Chains A and B, each alone.
Chain A
């Protein structure tokens, strides 16, 4: 069993009260599953991704439990998490370009990181070199400063460092958004390769770019305004989405081959609600073309088809009728 998240709720503390950034998130990842996490800005992607590894103020743990490989992870305990970070759960941060210490040679920095986790650098060196080969980086990088590497090289270096201790869960936060298309493709394929070689068990790819998830993810989780909207295998999300938000989102994506003169794409009218005081019931209600009275209550996140979870009353009713 890979990752299991139950009823995870995380708020942001602000002077004007708690921002309800993530509420009642429950989902599971099967062994080896690569899950994409997508949604608009302010939908709760970072709170979900980060609370699994670094839950520091202003983030505030409210409720929920997280299990990795059947073992409960104390995400509310910043100190206690040190046992799990890097070894069990690891992160490739956004802006990986700036993630490395600029005044240490890369090899020395990795040595210090490993020492902090009680691992000997010399023992790891052969494996480290093998992995550098895998991402086509020369071994000399270990003797270089981060400034001597190009953006794509730094990104690959950080990927190697983050996955060095074979964590069970790796979280990749917007790692491809600053890269050129050719490098983007190479980096994305390397992540899949890491999974194939069992360096990592589960991978969560946080991104706003759904087309890249279509290329590498097994399943996609769509979030809206701090709650889960839909989770399904990648093919189902792209080809037969069920949540009205997912449907509108997918149909608003311009693709190679679509031209304005022939087909005018539509955006989603309105804006996401402010999470300081979100509306009761379904949070997509105000922008949803299908909304009706029942949407004043919060819809449950239920499995309507095999591995296909949706939080929408319409789907709930269709599903109840079908049974």
Chain B
């Protein structure tokens, strides 16, 4: 359905844009109908950049994004509007997604005027109420209010309801629950899972492994714009192979296990590492050859891809290198 093919994004940084920053490097993955794909990474991993490129807020420097086989870069005018009818995004901070001067339900009116001018006001009102109920809000409680009168969870659900009104088939959810409280968080997550059951495809961008595991089938682990590991969620979580993924799984605070004591973080001194593995600087099991060339993404078992020299052809998958090196 939506497909990224070796997509890269280079930002110009520095005082006069003289330096190049490779934010996303040749990332490829596919999201099928009714599937949730998690994009997992820390800050600076390029995960939000990918979301923005899908929403055409940024233009890829290289590579192609296709939606149902068509290059989204070529959409203009009516075709672009039609694309936005099907693909929408919801972002991290619900408060800054609204104009505080206007009532929060203005977002629904804008959708009405822009996309459905032929629908009568009465019928539109019904549709809005239906969409609000389906995201678990009571329309009487939330309509006709200003953004500051609503909670973060309510505003976030408003945005999802807005996306539903458009009858979208693809949602980019960029860290949408990180600003919510624990008890509301799970409700929004369950809502996404229910929508998925109706055939909505979701790109779930997050830094939280447990949330990704809860909701998605496929996961892509990003490190500094490069894919470290990707494939089926159970395989990655039950058998994390890339040293970076293992470090993540190790350091995420859990309620069923305490942290291992005395694991020191590696920080190699690397000046301008241009070639080589992007994780070389922090990798506890790096070898000299890792500094020389970037390992390709290889399939180590069905639907489980890793970019690490330790898993290139010939290496034994079942005996991963010990991390305590």
Contacts and interface: CB of A to CB of B under 8 A. Distances in A.
A181 B40 CA distance: 12
Given A238-B255, A256-B210, A259-B213, A248 B190 contact: no
Interface in A86-126: none
A258 B265 contact: no
Contact of A257 (B43, B207, B213): B213
A209 B253 contact: yes
Interface in A151-170: 151
Contacts of A182: 42, 247-248, 251, 265, 282
Contacts of B251: 181-182, 184-185
Which one of B213, B237, B247, B253 has the greatest number of beta carbons of chain A within 10 Å?
B253
User: Chain A interface secondary structure, helix, strand, loop or mixed?
Assistant: loop
A4 to B, nearest CB: 29
Interface stretch (A16-24, A264-272, A303-311): A264-272
Nearest to B189: A254
Interface residues on B, range: 35 or more
Given A180-B42, A182-B265, A264 B190 contact: yes
Contacts of A188: 253
Interface string B191-228: 00100000000000001011101110000000000000
A181 B215 contact: no
B195 to A, nearest CB: 12
B176 to A, nearest CB: 14
Contacts of B258: 214-215
A256 B249 contact: yes
User: Chain B interface secondary structure, helix, strand, loop or mixed?
Assistant: helix
Contacts of A83: none
A211 B249 contact: no
A50 interface: no
Contact of B190 (A40, A189, A267): A267
Interface in A243-284: 248-250, 252-260, 264-268, 271
Given A186-B265, A256-B210, A256-B249, A181 B42 contact: yes
A66 interface: no
B248 A255 contact: no
A236 interface: no
Contacts of A211: 253-255
B255 A210 contact: yes
Interface stretch (B27-35, B79-87, B115-123, B177-185): B177-185
Given A255-B210, A255-B254, A257-B213, A185 B181 contact: no
A57 B182 CA distance: 29
A156 to B, nearest CB: 12
A180 B186 contact: no
B323 interface: no
Contact of B214 (A185, A254, A268, A271): A254
A198 interface: no
A258 B189 CA distance: 13
A252 B255 contact: no
B186 A267 contact: yes
Given A208-B182, A249-B183, A255 B265 contact: no
B181 A208 contact: yes
Given A208-B182, A238-B255, A254 B151 contact: no
29 contacts: A40-B183, A41-B152, A41-B181, A181-B42, A181-B251, A181-B253, A182-B247, A182-B251, A182-B282, A184-B253, A185-B251, A188-B253, A214-B254, A215-B253, A215-B258, A252-B183, A252-B186, A254-B186, A254-B189, A254-B210, A256-B209, A256-B210, A256-B254, A257-B210, A257-B256, A259-B214, A264-B190, A264-B193, A267-B183
